[in-house]
Structure 1
Amino acid sequence: MTKKNYNINIYKATVIDRMHHLDLGLYDHQITFTCDLLKSKYRYLILNKIDNRLANIPRHSELKIFKNEIQTANIANEYQNLIKIMIFVLDDLTEDNDLNKILIKAYED
């Protein structure tokens, strides 16, 4: 009998339902953690950069733009809109390419 090697990452194999992700408050935690991480490394100026990027996203009929500061998001509708655009907001946000890749991967997954 041969031993089979199963390299399955359960976290990558599990599909997350976005609404349940919102209902459980996980996306709120993800945004808060990201902001806290960036603040600890770049201070509050990085949040201004994020808010500026959010405000400058071109308008589209099916995309409701989040106009408030990122840390004031508090309802599911606002988080739903943030889910759609956070990858673009975080793209090349910092000079640290490794951190950029980690953040994009976290929001992409």
Structure 2
Amino acid sequence: MDDEWREDFMIESSDVSIDDSTWNACLLPKLDDGCPTTDTLQLAHPTLSLMDAHIVYIMGKVDVSDEKALVLTVDMANKRLQEVSVYDAERIVNDFDYAYTQSTISQYFTTAAA
């Protein structure tokens, strides 16, 4: 078995499609024609999904001083933007020095009976 890392998917950001099934696409900046776009975002911190080998999360801000950041969920296999989420980013100003991180810890939580 080959355990070495290998590059499977490589895409240009302009190749990533945004369509009607992209969840929360309305949060993206708009072009003059009203279409959502990622072209005006400053992107940083691509993070591989812990659950799906084809998914990459990318943080984006229109301006580095914005107090909110977008996290884009990109399906690399299908070259498609799946979801856009908004997060507080007050501590991530003037630079992308600090980033989000992901964890699988939530799979260990149980719902307690109230």
Fold-level similarity (TM above 0.5): no
More helix by share: 1
TM-score, normalization: structure 2? Answer: 0.27
TM-score, normalization: structure 1? Answer: 0.28
More strand by share: 2
